[in-house]
Chains A and B, each alone.
Chain A
Amino acid sequence: MAQFTKANSLYEWLDQRLALSKLWKVLAAEYWIPKNINFLWAMGVVLVTMFTILVISGIFLLMYYKPDTKLAFDSVNYTIMQEVWFGWLWRHMHAVAASVVFLVIYIHMFTGIYYASYKRGREMIWISGMLLFVTFSAEAFSGYMLPWGQMSYWAAQVITNLFGGIPFIGDDLVVWIRGNFYVSDPTLTRFFMLHVFLLPLVIMMLIGLHFYTLRIPHVNNQDGEEIDFDAEAEKYKAGLKKESKVIPFWPVFLSKDFFVLGIFMIFYFFLVFYHYDFAMDPINFDPANPMKTPPHIYPEWYFLWSYEVLRGFFFDVGPLSAMDIGLIAFGIANVIFFFIPWLDRSPVVAPAHKRGAFFYWFWALLIDMIILTIWGKLPPTGINAWIGFFASITFLLLLLVILPKITKKEAQRAGGAV
C-alpha cells in the first residue's frame, strides 16, 4: 500500500495518484532523440498534427453530414459548404489534409528508406508504419465516397470491382463488400461506418503502436551511427549538453519540430484557401449518377502509382489474362514495402549516399514511382500504355531483384571489411 501524505497543491495531489511527473519524464523530458538529425525527422510530428486536423474537422463535418444516397451530396455541398458557419472551412481543411497527409507519409517513408531506418532492431517501426499507410489508404478511400459525387461513385465502382479478380470467390466478394450488386445505399452507409469509426479507431491504436516500437531501438540518425542512449543521456543530464549525442524530446526536439510545422502549415493553408482543386476534384461536384460514366476515371494522386501497376500489364501472356497479371502485380505492389527490411540483405545502416549502388537504386525507385504516378492519371492509350508497362516492370524488378542483389554484394563487402 502506497503512502499518501497531505498534498500541498493540486498538481502534487494528482502526482501522488497518477505519477504525472514520472510520466512526463518517460514520455517527453527524458525521451531521448539523436542530435544528429535534419528537418526530415520532423515529419512524424507533422503527421500527428495532420491527423489531429483530420479528426477535428471530421467531427464538425459529421454533425451535418447525412449518409444516405439521396441526401449525402446536398448535405455536403449545400448544408456544409454554404450554410454551416465555417462548414466550408472544415471541408476544405479535411479534403486538403487527406491529400497532403499522403505527401508527408511518402516523404516519411522515403526518409526511412534513404537512411536505412528499417533494420538493426527497427523492423517493427517500419512494419507498424506500413500498417498505418495501409489503414490510411482505406480511410482515404472510404472517405472519398462520402460526398457521393461522380468521382466518389465511379472510383468506388472501379476499385470494389478489383476484388472480382480474386479466384473463385471474386464475384460474390464484390457483392458482399458493396452490400448490393452495384455501388448503392448500403455501400455508402457501411463505408461511412468504416470511415468515421472503425478505421480511425484502428489508426489511433496503430499510432500508439508505432510510437511504442520506437522506444527500444530508438530513433535513427543522419549517419546511421549506433548510439549508447543510456550513456549519452547521462552525459546530457550531467550538464554536458553540447557534448552529448542526444537531446530530450521536450523541449529541444519539439522546438525544432514546431518551426518545421509552422512552415508546413503555411504551405497547407495556402492549399486549403487558394489551391484546393488537386484534392477536391471538380468532377466530384457533379452528383453521383450510376447511369453516366465520366469520361476519365482516376483515383486520387496518392493511389496512382499502384493503380498504374495494375493497368500496366495490358496484354495476355499465355493462359494469364492481362487483368489477372495486373491484379497479381497490384497485389505485390501493395505489400512489397512491408518486406523491405528483408529484401535489403545488407546489415549496413547508413544513409544512401554512403552505400554505393543503393544510392542509385533509391533515386531510381523514387523516379520510377513518380513516373507511375503521372502515367497512372493519363489515358492508357498508345505510347502511354507502354510507358506504364515498362515503369511497372521496372518497379517490380527494382524491389524484387535489384534490391536483394546489390545489398547482398554490400553485405559481402561489409563482411570483408569488418
Chain B
Amino acid sequence: MRELKILAIVIFFTLVTYWGVEPFAHSIMHPHHEPATFKYEDLKPLNKKGDPKRGMKAIVNNGCVGCHSIKAANVPAPMDPVTASASYGVNPPDLSLAGALYDEKFLANVIVNPAHAMKLDHKFGDNKPFPMPNFYGNAQDLADIIAYLKALAKHQQLTPKAAFINACGRCHDMKYDNWYVIGPKPKMDTELEKAEFNLKHAQYQANLKNYLGTNPPDLSMYIRSRGEEYIRDFVEDPQKLLPGTAMPRVGLTKEATYQVIEYMEKVGDRKKDKRNFLGAWVLLYFVIFSILAYLWKKQIWKEVE
C-alpha cells in the first residue's frame, strides 16, 4: 500500500512537471489559432458557369500559354526553369493539374488579381507589379478557363508527389526525395555535369531570392519540425501564422493539402508505420516481462518475508 502511495506521488509530480514544460509552455509560446477551413471566405465566388470546351480557346486568347505550360494538353513550357526564373522570379506553374489542386474560388481570383488572391498586396503594387498581370478579359472567358482546367485535371491522377511538386516544388527543395526547384537531380557521372547542375540550381535560387527576399527552406524534415496541423493551417493562410512572410497563399483545396502533407510525411517520416507497428510489440514484450518478473519476485520474497 505504501509503495502505491509513493508511486502515486512520483507520478503526480512527474505529470505536473511534464504538463508545465510541454503543453502549458507551448500554449504560451505558440498562441492558439483557428484551424484551416479551406473556404477562402475573403474571396469573391465565381458567378458564371463555364464551358470546358471553350476553355482552351480562352486560354490561348488570353495569353496564358505565353508563360504557362499545360503538359497534359501537349502545350510545352516556353522556357526552361532557370530562364523563366530569371524573367519572372519563379518558374510559372504547369497548369495540367491546376483544376484539382486549387480551390475553384481561389483559382478565379488568382487569375483576376494574383497578388491580392495570394495575399501579397504588401509586397506588390503599382510600383512593383506582380510578375503575372491582372486579368482584364470577360467573365465568361474566366469561367470557361476554370471549367476547362477542372475537366482536364479530372483525367489525371493527383498523386501526393505531384501535388507537392506543382504546389510547392518550384520554390522549395525536397532533397531527401531528390527533388530540387529545377527538377530531380539526375544520376551524374562527371564532375562537369555535377557542376552544371549545381550552377543551374544556384542561379535559380539566386533569382528566387531576388524575387522573394529570402530563399525558401528545404522541406525534407518539415513534417517533423512543424507537424501536420501547423503545415495544414500555414498552407491555407501563411500570413495568419507568420505575418509579413514572403510565402504567398497557395489556395490549395483541402484534399490537395492533405496530399502534400502525405508526401511530406513519406519523405520526412518514412518509418512512421514501422514505428507504430513495432511499438505495440515491444510494449507487449515488456508487459509479459513485468508479469514474469512479478511472479518470480513473489516466489523469491516468500522465503524472506
Contacts and interface: CB of A to CB of B under 8 A. Distances in A.
Direct A–B contact in the complex, CB atoms closer than 8 angstroms = yes
A261 B28 CA distance: 36
Contact of A270 (B2, B226, B283): B283
B17 interface: yes
B73 interface: no
Interface string B84-110: 000000000000000000000000000
B245 to A, nearest CB: 13
A262 B221 contact: no
B37 interface: no
Contacts of B28: 378-379
B282 interface: yes
B289 A269 contact: no
A377 B21 contact: yes
B129 interface: no
Nearest to A40: B6
Interface string A109-152: 00000000000000000000000000000000000000000000
B187 interface: no
Nearest to A260: B293
Given A258-B293, A266-B287, A370 B304 contact: no
Interface stretch (A6-14, A193-201, A277-285, A389-397): A277-285
Contact of B304 (A38, A242, A366): A242
Given A241-B303, A255-B297, A379-B28, A38 B21 contact: no
A9 to B, nearest CB: 27
B300 A286 contact: no
Interface string B281-303: 01100110110011011001101
Contacts, number: 130
Contact of A373 (B21, B218, B220, B227): B21
Residue from A35, A92, A103, A265 whose CB has the most chain B CB atoms within 10 Å:
A265
Interface string A293-309: 00110000100100000
Interface stretch (A52-60, A75-83, A177-185, A210-218): A75-83
A370 B293 contact: no
Contacts of B21: 278, 301, 304, 373-374, 377
Q: Is the interface of A mostly helix, strand, loop or mixed?
A: helix
Contact of A273 (B176, B279, B301): B279
Nearest to B274: A88
B25 A366 contact: no
A276 to B, nearest CB: 9
A107 interface: yes
Contacts of B303: 241-242
A88 B217 CA distance: 23
A269 B276 CA distance: 11
A370 B283 contact: no
Given A251-B300, A278-B21, A283-B225, A269 B286 contact: yes
Interface of A: 35, 38-40, 77-78, 81-82, 88-89, 92, 103, 107, 241-242, 244, 247, 251-252, 255-256, 258-259, 261-263, 265-266, 269-270, 272-274, 277-278, 282-287, 295-296, 301, 304, 366, 370, 373-374, 377-379
Given A262-B294, A379-B29, 13 more contacts: A81-B271, A82-B176, A88-B271, A247-B304, A259-B290, A266-B286, A270-B279, A273-B278, A273-B283, A285-B225, A374-B20, A374-B24, A374-B25
11 contacts: A77-B221, A77-B224, A88-B275, A89-B278, A262-B290, A265-B286, A273-B276, A278-B22, A282-B225, A282-B226, A377-B25
